[in-house]
Amino acid sequence: MPKIKHIAIATQDAAKTAAFYKEVFGLREIAQLESANANGFFLSDGNVNMAILDFQNDAVAGERGKDYSGIHHIGFEVEDLEDVEKKLADHNSLPMDEVNKALGVGMGGPRHDNVEIKYTGPNGEMIDVSAHGWVGTRGFD
């Protein structure tokens, strides 16, 4: 059964947002991200990876753009990526080709940690699907 393992929050102040979730809810900082696409932090409760992202360009941020703040996407870890991709297609959920291209994921490219392929949800939300999971989703040890 697919499991929610990843939530991404877009913000223009990643340090302040990460501090809030660490101080209020006790999430642990697993990694820090600095790239041409996004800066931020990966936090975890040992089960779910929460990405706090300050997007650096609109292509990677998707249709909301890099200035959007709020929940950006949700990630599901699945046992069989091909099976889930077929189910997504059956429900008219298409790969987000522009975002996937900007990230260099999906479409037969190399696999990256913390992102595998993005799809559209029924309301236009971004869904991240992974067979490999995210850092901090299998405990801390």
Q: Give the total number of structural domains in the chain.
A: 1
Across-strand partners of 53? 10, 40
The pLDDT value given to residue 109: 54
Residue 55 lies in a domain: yes
Residue 44 lies in a domain: yes
* CATH at residue 123: 3.10.180.10
In terms of C-beta density within 10 A (0-12 exposed, 13-18 middle, 19 or more buried), how is residue 41 classed?
buried
Residue 136 lies in a domain: no
- Check pLDDT > 70 for residue 1: yes
Within-domain flag for 140: no
pLDDT in tens, 74-86: 888 888 888 888 8
Strand partners, 76: 4, 129
- pLDDT tens track for 90-134: 888 888 888 888 888 775 555 555 667 888 876 677 888 888 888
In a domain, 33, yes or no: yes
141: pLDDT strictly greater than 70? no
Residue 137 belongs to a domain: no
**How many whole angstroms from its chain centre is CA 76?**
9
Beta bridge partners of 118: 128
